[in-house]
Amino acid sequence: MTATIAPPQPPGPPPAPPRPSRRDRSARACSNRLHRSEHRTAALFIALPVLGFALFVLYPIGFAVVTSFTAWNGITSPVFTGLDNYVRMIGDQYFWKSLGNTVYMMMAIPVGLLLSLVLALAMNRRMRGTTFFRTIYYIPVISSIAAIAILWQWAYNGDFGLINQALGMVGIDGPNWLQNPATSKLAIMIMAVWKGLGFSMLLYLAALQSVPRQLYEAAAIDGASTLQQFWAITVPMLRPVTFFLVVTNIIGGAQIFVEVNIMTPDGGPEFSTATIVWYIWRQAFEYLNMGYATAISLMLGLLVFVVTALQFA
């Protein structure tokens, strides 16, 4: 007899998962409520900075972009003029003059960084009185820029200024610094370098003190001279601080205004000290050309952005 084989039976339905207990359901509901509460709290913390960014950054930028295409005096309704402000900017000799003055004054940035590095190297030595000198050099940084500009304006006076009196002691007849087109920009650059020395020196000093001494000891064992140690160890270790100072000084130098407005009213002799921010202020608040001033502001912001981006490249 032949045995018969029964055909395979199809698999039955999978067993039903066990029903969660009341305790599990209660714990899951509590966890969901906790997650929703955390999400609401997180959304609240995120919403505040986002709202501030939209209100104080995005809206002003959007308003400035729209205003740059209008003729507006800040009082009456703006009138759309298209690209007239930008076309006017290209042919405005005072715009190019003020932009050139700004770039010229920014040439003081490498001089200030070099002097601040020299001071930081001097202050990094173990000698008496370093704390006193660090404080003295940093006082201009925390002082009012308006007060400092007035003091330097007196010092630059051609008749009774301290600078010309000091030059007279060595037989030099000093010029009328702020009233001479040949020396007016130089005078403001000297004051700007003096005021920023303390900040750059402090950052360089902190960076110098963070360099491991073992690097210098190993270099000395290998026979490296002091100058070789400076170029091979100190300069590379200071590169991040130098990069930060270059970027911040370029941004700050492009916005110089108070010194020019106080020390050389009306942009100095023959418009020699007028900077781009000073020219924007004059167009906006003296001539009430808000649309044109906004167009110049956007162009300045674009230039600063491009120069800063090149530093990161």
Read off the CATH number of the domain in which 106 is found. 1.10.3720.10
pLDDT of residue 39: 76
Model pLDDT, residue 261: 93
- Which residues have a Cβ under 8 Å from the Cβ of 112 and sit 6 or more positions away? 192, 193, 196, 197, 200, 249
**Which pLDDT tens digit goes with each residue over 222-238?**
888 888 999 999 999 99
Residues 205 and 124: beta-carbon distance below 8 Å? yes
- Output the CA–CA distances (angstroms, integers) from residue 199 to 128, 165, 283, in the order listed: 21, 29, 32
Do 51 and 109 fall into the same domain?
no
Pair 273, 159 in one domain: yes
Are residues 242 and 94 part of one domain? yes
Same domain, 131 and 199: yes
Residues 62 and 206 in one domain: no
179 found inside a domain: yes
Long-range contacts of 62-69 (CB under 8 A, 24+ apart): 64/294, 64/297, 64/298, 65/298, 67/290, 67/291, 67/294, 68/291, 68/294, 68/295, 68/297, 68/298, 69/291, 69/295
The total of structural domains in the chain comes to 2
- 127 & 249 share domain: yes
**Span 26-80, pLDDT tens digits:** 666 666 666 777 778 888 888 888 999 999 999 999 999 999 999 999 889 999 9
Q: What is the mean pLDDT of each run of 10 residues along the chain (313 residues)?
A: 56 60 63 72 86 92 94 92 94 95 94 94 82 86 92 90 90 90 93 93 92 90 89 92 94 92 90 95 94 95 91 79
Domain hosting 27: range is: 22-67
**244 and 139 in one domain?**
yes
CA distances from 231 to 5, 77, 129, 209, 236 (A): 91, 60, 28, 16, 7
Give per-residue pLDDT as tens, 269-284. Answer: 899 999 999 999 999 9
Domain boundary among 36, 67, 98: 67
